[in-house]
Amino acid sequence: MPGRDEWWRNAACYEVYLRSFADSDGDGIGDLPGLRSRLRYLRDLGVDALWITPFYPSPQVDHGYDVSDYTDVDPRFGTLGDFDAVLEGAHQMGLRVIIDLVPNHTSAQHTGFRAAMAAGPGSPERGRYHFRPGQGRGGLRPPNNWRSAFGGPAWTRVPGAEGQADEWYLHLHHQEQPDLNWASPAVGDEFESVLRFWLDRGVDGLRIDVAMCLAKDPRYPDLRRGDDRHPYHNRPEVHEIYGRWRAVLDSYPGDRMMIAEAVAPDAAGLARYVRAGECHQVFNFAWLETRWSAADFRRIIKDTLDAVRAVNASPTWVLASHDAVRTVSRYATSGPNGNAVGLERARAALLVMLSLPGSAYVFQGEELGLPQVDVPPSARRDPAWVQSGGSMPGRDGCRVPIPWNKGEQSCGFSPAGSSAPWLPQPQSWGELSVADQERDSSSTLAFYRKALRIRRTVLGGLDDGVVILPSAPGTLVLARDPGFICVLNCGSRPARPPAGDLILSSTHRPGSLLPPNSAAWFHTGGTNWVSRR
C-alpha cells in the first residue's frame, strides 16, 4: 500500500452492513466470502474504502455490536482466513478497509464478563466493568437514573452468592452489552493489543463505536437536564484514550486512520475528537437528522467546516447508516408519490454531499435508491424494538438484505436453495436489484457511478475551500475553485442555474431551469473540465 497520503481526507467510503450484503453459504446471513465475491461491484461503483460492520464472534443480540471475542471471526461470517482474503482482494482493487471496533461494551458472553459475574463484589474482574450497589433498602433500586439507549434502566441486578451483597451492572445499550470500565488500566491494555492485532493484519482504519461514551463519571451521579458535564458523554478522559490509540496507529507503516462515532451538542464539541494527536475523523450526523431544507443544509455545512477547520481536520458527510431511516423515506412526502419525491431528493442530496470537501460515507443500498422497509412486527429483530416493548420502531427497516438479481431466490442475496434471508425482503425488492439497474443507464445506480467517478476524477482536483454563494430562498449554491458550482433546489419553484456548462444533474428532467427537489453540478471555466472527465 502507498505511504502516508492521507487518503481518508477526501475518500468516498461505503458502509458494508455485513449481515445484509451478500450471503455465500446459504444461511440467510451475509458473510465475508459473500463480500469478497462482490468487491468488484464496489470497485466499479467508484468508492475508495469500505467500512465493514462487526464480524467478530458474538451472540448477535445487537447483530455483532455485542462482541464476545475481539480477535476472531464469528463462524456465521467466515474465518480469519476469509477476512484476510477480503482485505487482500480489496487492496488489490485499490480499496481501503476500515473495521468496526466496539470498545464501550462487550457481550455478556465475553470471558471477561463471565469471570466478573463469577468473581463477586470487590474483585479485580468486576473492576473491569461497572458494578455498583443498588440504592434504597436492600439495594433494590438501580444505582442511578441512567437509561439504556434501547429503553428501560441502564442497570441490571446481579444477586450476590451466599453471604455476598447484590450488585448492579451498567449497560448503556442492551443488558447483554455490559459497559467496560475504561478507568481500569487492564481495559486499556487489552484494547491496545486488539488494535495491534488488526493493524498487524493490515487494516487501513478503525471505526470507533459509541466513541463518546467510554468514560463515565466515577461518582455515577443521576443524569440531570442542564448539567454542565454529562456523566457519560464526551468527557475529557475519552480524549486520552484516543490519544493513546493515535500513537499506536502512527507507529505503523502506511496511512492508518480512525473515525469516531460520536454525538455532541454542537459541531465544536465534535471537533474535539479530531484535534491533533487524536482521531482522524468523526462522523458528522447533523445532516442525517435534518429535514429537507436548503437553510438547514447551509447552516450544517457552515458549522461543520468552521469547526473542523479550527483544528485542521477534514470534514465528513453522512446521509444514511444502518441506524437511521433510509434517505429516500426520510425525504419522502406524504401522498401516493411520496417515495418518488424522496428518491429525487436523495439523489440531489448526494450531489451536494459529494461536491463538498472532505469524505463522504455511503450506506449500502443508497446507490440503489432503496427505501425504508416496513418490516412486519413479527419479523423484526432489532433489540431496540424488542427491548422497548415496541415503543421504538427499531432499525430493521434499513437493514433488509440487498437485492442483487430480480429473478433469483432472495433476489440473489443468497444462493439457490438457501434459508430465507434473516429479514424478509418486500415483494417488489427485485425491481430495485443491481442487475436490473446495471441494464438501465438512467437508474439510480448508474447515477451514483457517474457522480462518484466525476468526484474522483475531477472534483478531487479542486481546492479544499468552498464558498456558499448568496442565492434565492429555498436554494443552496456552493462554489469551489477552479470553476465548479453545485446548485440545490429545495424550493417549490424551478430555480435559475448559474451561467456555465452542466456536468451532472440529479433529475431525469434537466431543462433550462432546475426543477424543485433536484441538484446539479456546473463548471464555469477555469480548467479543462471536458477532457478531464
**CB of 128 or CB of 173, closer to ligand GLC:** 173
Residues 301 and 250 sit within 8 Å (Cβ to Cβ): no
Whole-angstrom distance, CA of residue 233 vs CA of residue 52: 25
Minimal distance, residue 353 CB to ligand GLC, in Å: 20
78 backbone φψ class: left, alpha, beta (φ>0; ψ -120 to 50): left
**CB of 98 or CB of 102, closer to ligand GLC:** 102
**CB of 261 or CB of 367, closer to ligand GLC:** 261
Catalytic, 209? Answer: yes
Residue 56 binds ligand GLC, judged by CB under 6 A = no
Residue 173 binds ligand GLC, judged by CB under 6 A = yes
Task: Write down the H helix ranges in 388-491.
Answer: 434-438, 444-457
Residue 69 binds ligand GLC, judged by CB under 6 A = no
Q: Which residues pair with 504 in a beta bridge?
A: 521
Minimal distance, residue 206 CB to ligand GLC, in Å: 14
Residues 72 and 56 sit within 8 Å (Cβ to Cβ): yes
The secondary element (H helix, E strand) that includes residue 524 is none
Catalytic, 88? Answer: no
Of residues 95, 170, 203, 210, which one binds ligand GLC by CB under 6 A?
A: 210
Of residues 48, 74, 204, 209, which one binds ligand GLC by CB under 6 A?
A: 209
Site string for ligand GLC, 385-424 (x = CB under 6 A): ----------------------------------------
**CB of 48 or CB of 209, closer to ligand GLC:** 209
Minimal distance, residue 18 CB to ligand GLC, in Å: 12
Q: Dmax over Cα atoms in the chain, in whole Å?
A: 82
Rg (CA), the chain: 24
Mapped to the 3 state alphabet, what secondary structure does 196-226 carry?
Answer: HHHHHHCCCEEEECCHHHCCCCCCCCCCCCC
The rounded Cα 405 to chain-centroid distance in angstroms is 25
Residue 347 binds ligand GLC, judged by CB under 6 A = no
* Amino acid identity, position 206: L
**CB of 64 or CB of 421, closer to ligand GLC:** 64
Residue 323 binds ligand GLC, judged by CB under 6 A = yes
Whole-angstrom distance, CA of residue 132 vs CA of residue 177: 16
- Residue with cell string 492485532: 197
> How many residues bind ligand GLC, per CB under 6 A?
9
Cell numbers standing for residue 495: 430555480
**CB of 391 or CB of 427, closer to ligand GLC:** 391
Strand 467-469 with 96-101, pairing = unpaired
Q: Of 31, 74, 176, 261, which is the active-site residue?
A: 261
85-124 residues near ligand GLC, rule: CB under 6 A = 102
Residue 62 binds ligand GLC, judged by CB under 6 A = yes
Active site residues: 209, 261
Footprint on this chain of ligand GLC (rule: CB under 6 A): 62, 65, 102, 173, 209-210, 261, 322-323
